[in-house]
C-alpha cells in the first residue's frame, strides 16, 4: 500500500454571475462572471481536488446560487453561507442538506461588536450546536475580541486571509499575535490565502503560523476570482505560494485537515 498524498483542497473561492440579484448595501459590484464552469476548469487545470465556496458579500443572504452550484458538483464542493440572525432552524437544515458546513461573519470595515449582539450571539450558539464552523473575515485589530467571544463556544472558528494583519505592523499586529497565542489545541483554523489583501507578507505570516499552530490548523485558499484584484492575480500564483511556503508533509497535513473540517469523505487507501 502506498502513502496517500491528497490533492490540495481550495477552501476559499466564490462563484457568481452578473445576472444575479446583488445586495442593496454592498462594497463592491463585479463587472464580470465567475461561473461554476469556469471554476471547475480552473481546479482541473491546476490539479486541485475539492473546494469550498464562500458566499460573497455582494450577494447578501441569498445563498441559492451557491447551493445550486454545490448540487451540480457531485460532492466536489462544500459551502459557507451568509445568513440573517433570524434564519429558522428549517432554513439551516436546508443549507446543511445542500452541502453547507458553516456560516461567515464578514466584518471588514464594520463594527465587530455586532457579533456580540443578542441576536448574533444566539445565532452563533445555534451554529455551534450543529458542529458547524464560524468563519471570520475581519481586520486584524478586530480579532482579539471576536476570538475571545467565539472560541469558548467550542465550535471551529476559521479566520480568513491570515487574519488580515495591518501591513504596517506585520507580526506585531494585535490580531495576528492573538492567532499565534491560541496554540494548536484551540478550535481555531487560519486560511493562508489572500496575501495581496494584507500587504503581501504571506511567506512571513505562513511560517509563523506553521511554527506556532502547526499545519493541521492551517487551510489553503485561492480566493478565486480575486475580487478587486482580478487584474494582478492568477490562480497559479496561489498554488505557487502553497508550494513555496509549505513542505510536502505540511501540504499533506493541510489538505487532510481541510478534508476533515469541511466534511469531505475520507480518501480511499490504495
Strands 133-137 and 100-106: parallel
Instruction: Give the contacts of 1 (CB within 8 A, at least 6 positions apart).
Output: 269, 270
CA Rg value for the chain: 17
Q: In what order do the strands lie in the sheet with 133-137?
A: 10-13, 51-54, 77-81, 100-106, 133-137, 157-159, 188-192, 218-220
What is the set of domains in the chain, with CATH numbers? 10-25+32-261 (3.20.20.140)
What local confidence, expressed as pLDDT, does residue 269 receive? 44
Per-residue pLDDT of the chain (270 residues; tens, 9 = 90+): 556 779 999 999 999 999 998 988 888 889 999 999 999 999 999 999 999 999 999 999 999 999 999 999 999 999 999 999 999 999 999 999 999 999 999 998 888 889 999 999 999 999 999 999 999 999 999 999 999 999 999 999 999 999 999 999 999 999 999 999 998 888 999 999 999 998 889 999 999 999 999 999 999 999 999 999 999 999 999 999 999 999 999 999 999 999 999 999 988 643
What local confidence, expressed as pLDDT, does residue 23 receive? 86
Amino acid at each position: 500500500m502506498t502513502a496517500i498524498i491528497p490533492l490540495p483542497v481550495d477552501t476559499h473561492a466564490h462563484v457568481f454571475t452578473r445576472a444575479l440579484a446583488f445586495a442593496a448595501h454592498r462594497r463592491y459590484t463585479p463587472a464580470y462572471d465567475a461561473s461554476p464552469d469556469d471554476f471547475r476548469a480552473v481546479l482541473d487545470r491546476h490539479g486541485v481536488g475539492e473546494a469550498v465556496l464562500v458566499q460573497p458579500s455582494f450577494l447578501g443572504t441569498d445563498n441559492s446560487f451557491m447551493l445550486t452550484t454545490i448540487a451540480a458538483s457531485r460532492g466536489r464542493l462544500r459551502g459557507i453561507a451568509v445568513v440573517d440572525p433570524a434564519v429558522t432552524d428549517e432554513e439551516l437544515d436546508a443549507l446543511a442538506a445542500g452541502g453547507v458546513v458553516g456560516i461567515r461573519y464578514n466584518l471588514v470595515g464594520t463594527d465587530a461588536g455586532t457579533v456580540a449582539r443578542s441576536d448574533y450571539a444566539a445565532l452563533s450558539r445555534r451554529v455551534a450546536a450543529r458542529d458547524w464552523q464560524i468563519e471570520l473575515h475581519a481586520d486584524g485589530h478586530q480579532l482579539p475580541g471576536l476570538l475571545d467571544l467565539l472560541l469558548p463556544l467550542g465550535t471551529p472558528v476559521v479566520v480568513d486571509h491570515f487574519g488580515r494583519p495591518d501591513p504596517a505592523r506585520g507580526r506585531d499586529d494585535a490580531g495576528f499575535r492573538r492567532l499565534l497565542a491560541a496554540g494548536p489545541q484551540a478550535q481555531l483554523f487560519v486560511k493562508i490565502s489572500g496575501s495581496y489583501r494584507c500587504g503581501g507578507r504571506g511567506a512571513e505570516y505562513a511560517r509563523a503560523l506553521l511554527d506556532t499552530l502547526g499545519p493541521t490548523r492551517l487551510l489553503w485558499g485561492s480566493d478565486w476570482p480575486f475580487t478587486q484584484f482580478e487584474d494582478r492575480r492568477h490562480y497559479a500564483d496561489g498554488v505557487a505560494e502553497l508550494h513555496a511556503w509549505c513542505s510536502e508533509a505540511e501540504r499533506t497535513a493541510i489538505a487532510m485537515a481541510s478534508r476533515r473540517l469541511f466534511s469531505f469523505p475520507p480518501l480511499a487507501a490504495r
